[in-house]
């Protein structure tokens, strides 16, 4: 079953509150996790995201798309990276989440839909 693991955080806060060694440890963990998931055939796709200050938000206003600078929501934490994995069970994806959350503080896990719901 496919799941998305979404890692939330704030890069600025992390850089201000963690030592260089802690950040290097986290990066090493992420690199090794990606290698292990790829080797096991469980990794579908993963990606880190640029700082939310580089985001653009597109809204529909009077029937027309309007683009503004910045993220949609004013929040201290935002999505900073994600993995899509194809694992045997919910237990396995939660095991992975338990490893990742040590470095992010907050992680959201959602099953992927195979098809839209019946209307």
13, part of any domain: yes
What was the pLDDT predicted at 73? 63
pLDDT, average across residues 3-28: 89
118, part of any domain: no
Give CA separation, 26 vs 18, 52, 111, in Å. Answer: 10, 20, 25
50, part of any domain: yes
Percent of the chain residues past pLDDT 70, beyond the cut: 96
Task: Answer yes or no: is pLDDT of 72 > 80.
Answer: no
10, part of any domain: yes
Q: What is the mean pLDDT of the chain?
A: 91
Task: Answer yes or no: is pLDDT of 3 > 90.
Answer: yes
The domain total for the chain is 1
117, part of any domain: no
93, part of any domain: yes
What was the pLDDT predicted at 83? 98
pLDDT, average across residues 5-24: 88
d(Cα 8, Cα 102) in Å, to the nearest integer? 12
Contact 106, 77 (CB under 8 A): yes
Which CATH number fits the domain that encloses residue 12? 3.30.70.1060
> pTM to 2 decimals?
0.85
| Region class of 41: left (phi > 0), else alpha (psi between -120 and 50), else beta | left
| Residue ranges making up the domain that contains 29 | 2-111
């Amino acid at each position: 079953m496919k799941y998305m693991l979404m890692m939330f955080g704030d890069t600025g806060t992390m850089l201000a509150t963690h030592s260089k060694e802690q950040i290097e440890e986290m990066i090493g963990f992420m690199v090794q996790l990606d290698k292990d998931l790829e080797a096991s055939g469980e990794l579908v796709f993963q990606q880190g995201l640029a700082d939310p200050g580089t985001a653009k938000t597109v809204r529909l206003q009077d029937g027309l798309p309007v683009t503004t600078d910045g993220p949609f929501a004013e929040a201290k934490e935002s999505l900073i990276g994600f993995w899509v994995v194809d694992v045997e069970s919910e237990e396995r994806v939660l095991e992975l989440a338990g490893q990742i959350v040590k470095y992010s503080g907050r992680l959201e896990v959602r099953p992927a839909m195979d098809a839209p719901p019946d209307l």
